[in-house]
A and B are shown apart, each in its own frame.
Chain A
Amino acid sequence: MSDSHDSPTIPDLIKKFHFVGGVLVFGTIITFVIDLMFALPLALSAVIGLLIALVKASFVVAVFMHYKWDKKLIWITWTMVLTFFFFAGMMGLIIWADGDAPNLARNEMSAIWVLLASLLGVVLPASFTVFTVKMLSQPAPVEAAAPKARRTAKKKS
Chain B
Amino acid sequence: MEIPYTVKPRPDTGLYNAKLGIWLFLASEVMLFGALFSSYVLLRVGAEPGTWSMGLMDLFVGAGNTMVLIASSMFVVLAWAELKQGNLAGYKKWKWATIACAVLFLCVKWGYEWPSKFKHYDVWLNNATVLHEKFDEGYHEVASHGEHADDEHEHGDAAHGGDVEKHVEKIYTTRFFKERSEPSHAAFDDAWRNGTLALSGHINAYEEAQIDVRITDWKADAGVSEADAEKALAKQGAEDAAGLRLNGGLLLSKTGYDIAKRAEYALGQAGFTVALSVAGYERVEAHPWMWRTKRVNEDIGGKPRVSSIVFGLDHSHHQEITLDVGDIKRLSAYEPKHSTFFGIYYTITGLHAAHVFGGILIMLYNMLPIGLGLWHRDREQFTNRIETFGLFWHFVDLVWIFLFPILYIL
Contacts and interface: CB of A to CB of B under 8 A. Distances in A.
A31 B34 CA distance: 22
Given A57-B401, A61-B398, A76-B27, A14 B13 contact: no
Nearest to A74: B14
Interface in A60-85: 60-61, 64-66, 70, 72-73, 76, 79-80, 83-84
Interface string B7-29: 11101111110011001101100
Given A17-B81, A49-B410, A65 B42 contact: no
B51 to A, nearest CB: 14
A21 B74 contact: yes
A91 B41 contact: yes
For A39, A49, A64, which residue has the most chain B Cβ atoms within 10 angstroms? A64
Interface string B59-89: 1000100110011011001100100110000
A49 B11 contact: no
B115 to A, nearest CB: 24
A46 B410 contact: yes
B11 A60 contact: no
B410 A28 contact: no
A35 B8 CA distance: 48
A90 interface: yes
For B9, B66, B78, B401, which residue has the most chain A Cβ atoms within 10 angstroms? B401
Contacts of B63: 28-29, 31-32
Interface in B347-399: 380, 387, 390-391, 394-395, 397-398
A84 B14 CA distance: 25
A62 to B, nearest CB: 11
Given A57-B398, A76-B27, A64 B35 contact: no
A51 B305 CA distance: 52
B100 interface: no
Contacts of A21: 70-71, 73-74
A45 B409 contact: yes
A102 B78 CA distance: 52
Contacts of A49: 405-406, 409-410
A123 interface: no
Contact of B73 (A14, A60, A140): A60
Given A73-B15, A87-B34, A60 B404 contact: no
Contacts of B34: 83-84, 87
B52 to A, nearest CB: 10
Contacts, number: 140
Nearest to A5: B14
B31 interface: yes
A97 to B, nearest CB: 11
B14 A10 contact: no
A156 interface: no
Contacts of B8: 2
Given A31-B404, A31-B409, A60-B397, A3 B73 contact: no
Contacts of A60: 73, 394, 397-398, 401
Contact of B67 (A10, A25, A35, A145): A25
Interface residues on A, range: 35 or more
Contacts of A1: 84, 387
Contact of A10 (B74, B85, B178, B398): B85
B165 to A, nearest CB: 23
B27 A14 contact: no
A143 B81 CA distance: 26
B11 A14 contact: no
Interface string A30-65: 011001100100100110011011001100110011
Contact of A83 (B31, B404, B409): B31
Contact of B81 (A3, A10, A36, A73): A10
Contacts of A72: 13-15
Contacts of B27: 76, 79-80, 83
Given A31-B409, A144-B11, A144-B14, A64 B394 contact: yes
A79 B405 CA distance: 25
A99 interface: no
Nearest to B392: A65
A86 to B, nearest CB: 8
A145 B398 contact: no
Contacts of B179: 39
**Closest A-B pairs by Cβ, 3 of them:** A49-B405, A148-B11, A72-B14
Given A46-B410, A79-B27, A87-B37, 10 more contacts: A42-B410, A53-B402, A53-B405, A61-B398, A65-B394, A72-B15, A83-B27, A95-B42, A144-B13, A147-B9
Interface of A: 1-3, 10, 13-14, 17-18, 20-21, 24-25, 28-29, 31-32, 35-36, 39, 42, 45-46, 49-50, 52-53, 56-57, 60-61, 64-66, 70, 72-73, 76, 79-80, 83-84, 87, 90-91, 94-95, 140-141, 143-145, 147-148, 151
17 contacts: A3-B16, A17-B77, A24-B73, A28-B66, A28-B404, A49-B409, A50-B402, A50-B406, A61-B398, A65-B394, A65-B395, A72-B14, A76-B24, A80-B27, A84-B30, A87-B34, A91-B38
